[in-house]
Amino acid sequence: MADAVDGAKSISVAGYAAVDCLFEGGRTVLCDGAMGTMLYARGVFINRCYDELNLSQPEMVREIHTEYLQAGAEVVETNTFGGNRFRLGLHGLQDQVRAINVAGVKLARESVNQIRDKQACEAFVAGSMGPLGVRLEPLGKVGLDEAREAFEEQIRALVEGGPGVGVDLLIVETMTSLAEAQQAILAARHVAPGIRVVVMMTVDEDGNCLDGASAEVAAIKLTEWGADAVGCNCSAGPATVLSVIERMRPVTTLPLSAMPNAGIPRAVEGRTIYLTSPEYMASFTRKLVKAGASIVGGCCGTTPSYTRAMKSSLRALGAMEGGIEVMENARPGKATTIKESKVSPPPLADRSKIGSMVAAGDFVTMVEIVPPKGIDCSKELDGAAQLHRLGVDAINVPDSPRASARMSAQSLCVQIQQHVGIETILHYTCRDRNVLSIQSDLLGASSIGLKNILCLTGDPPKLGNYPNATAVFDVDAIGLVNIVQNLNYGLDIGKNPIGDSTGFTISVAANPGVQDMDQEVRRFAFKVEAGAEFAITQPVFDLRVLEEFLRRIEGFRIPVIAGIWPLTSLRNAEFMKNDLRVSMPEEIMARMAAVASPEAGRMEGVKIAQEMLAEARPMVQGVQVSAPFGRYGVAADVLGLAEVEVV
């Protein structure tokens, strides 16, 4: 592999000069269509790794390339869309990145050479590179450097042997995230500085990238990062891609590339069918060219018959000879810079009561109230009112704890604040929502007066009472903090302005008793970097682990609120220790085992919790006390509060 790396770096810009004709001269270039659609039509099931077919069924792949070339395509893409270590890893093929990509180039090159010999026409091989299939930081667990390394690994195989042997250009396509597209561009510039790179985003029906960025922002950023052509592929069909090209044209001077799906797929008798006809696609090809696209082709659902129709349409326009006149408003515009949002969140002290107390260094008292399993929350409201009278500062409301089906935390928070008047902290998990619904929920929460958010990854459904429920986990807690922080600065995840700051006070969870302390500390540091302003710990029964955790985070410490859970019985202690993996000293287990009755067990649990609170108080800036089984009086007892008569 080292030789391949060195060889790739030695390729000069001049080595790729032959492909310059595709990017200059005012002509339109026709690329091929879908590979997966053709393979599926030949009976290859969708659970197969299509990229691996380069090794196991090379003749089938070669035939498809040849059919597209015979239909008039000037550029064929290698069958390597998913040829990166992450996607191949889903099939246990992560060690075959080089073999699969090299084979893919070889098959496409053989078809191109064959058509060149028979028809004396020029054709080129483009290395197809799709998204990695994983979510990147700050919204995911894969680092930007890891993503770049994966793209570099694939590119080294695609360009191996240099121009005429490796690929002539790279097509980075169906990208859902601008951050990921940037890593692909950086990888290409590092491995093969002279190679041309076409980068295409995929968009939703509104024409915006799936990370929230607008078509205009995408074109501007990709231009700044060094792409040779930018555009849109896949998406919801020709009409959507056309709108994106029209929006991109005024903000970039680069060539534009458009390769739409054959419309939106429909399920017909158990099969996925694309209903847009070749003639309809051909008509939109003319519109795409008039709108400023100079590289056109097809994506999902298109076949050589579509390529043939598009070829005829372009010939009729004279586009392939450079004779077409594009519309005046479709001429290349000046490269534009993006205006950053000037919105800033209010100072922490002005966002909420809790934010004010955290900022001032005051000791905060919170009690957790779990939402009911039905629609009647009168008990929870009564408990919140009791705790408010006793002087508790805030109520924590969990979000479907232990993956159970309950009233939404947001609903209970709103009712507590409206009917009781005490401030709440909304627990918000990533388990049940994608990044779109997360933003929608948080915007709504801010608009109705919820200003304190505890960002959590969430328990997986298999731990709850509906183990077959589907989890989402688009992001984890770290990614969620990044989203909330963006909203606080008046930006969505695509860095598009949304107006005023949401003004959230951002908190995160910490688990001092976790077995892998190194990982917990690393994740905590990421949460702080992302914008966390205070932390709430899991229940603490062993002060030694709390002290160790606080020592480990000293360099990036934020205010820490200690979680306290009053045990109710030995069985409760065993559940906490064995099921929830909470650090539980043997001394506490022995004390709970020695009690003579259930009431004595509850009293001993309160006593232990009071001792934990007294010893932890000098180390932390607050305490969250749980109310086991809805016993709010027990939580009040732990805090040393007594019920007072309302005058």
Binding-site residue positions for Zn(2+): 234, 299-300
d(C-alpha 331, C-alpha 324), whole Å? 12
d(C-alpha 128, C-alpha 79), whole Å? 7
The encoded tokens of residue 287 equal: 């519109």
- Other C-beta atoms within 10 Å of 459: how many? 17
The encoded tokens of residue 616 equal: 């932890």
The edge-to-edge listing of strands for the beta sheet with 75-77 is 29-30, 293-296, 256-260, 229-234, 196-201, 169-175, 124-129, 75-77
**In terms of Cα–Cα distance, which of 241, 257, 249, 198 is closest to 30?**
257
Give the 3-state secondary structure percentages of the chain, helix then strand then coil, rounded to 5. 45, 15, 40
Residue 479 near residue 179 (C-beta atoms within 8 A): no
Residues forming the annotated binding site?
Answer: 234, 299-300
Three-state DSSP at 199 gives strand
Give one word for 322, left, alpha or beta, with left for phi > 0 and alpha for psi -120 to 50: left
**In terms of Cα–Cα distance, which of 568, 517, 546 is closest to 615?**
546
d(C-alpha 149, C-alpha 147), whole Å? 5
Amino acid symbol at 638 = V
Task: Check residue 128 and report its DSSP letter.
Answer: E
Helical spans, DSSP H, in 489-541: 517-530
d(C-alpha 38, C-alpha 64), whole Å? 7
First-to-last C-alpha distance (Å) of the chain: 81
Three-state DSSP at 424 gives strand
